[in-house]
Amino acid sequence: MRTDQAKRLKELEKENARLKRLLADAELDKAILREAANPNF
C-alpha cells in the first residue's frame, strides 16, 4: 500500500468513526423521545 493510500485509509476510518458516533447519538435521541412520548412509564 502506498503512503497516500494509507493516509486516505486513515482519513476514511476517522470519518467512519465520526459518522458512527453521530448515528448512535441520533438513535439515543430517538429512544429518549419515544420514552417521553410513551405515557406508560
Amino acid making up residue 2 = R
N- to C-terminal Cα separation, the chain: 54
Q: What would the grid cell of residue 26 be?
A: 441520533
CA distance 15 to 4: 16
pLDDT at 14 over 90: yes
Report H helices in the chain: 3-37
Q: Which pLDDT score, from 0 to 100, does residue 41 have?
A: 58
* pLDDT band at 37; cut points 50, 70, 90: very high
* pLDDT band at 39; cut points 50, 70, 90: confident
Q: What is the pTM for the complete model shown?
A: 0.74
* pLDDT band at 1; cut points 50, 70, 90: confident
41 neighbors 35 (Cβ within 8 angstroms): yes
Question: Going along 1-41, which residue ranges are E strands?
Answer: none
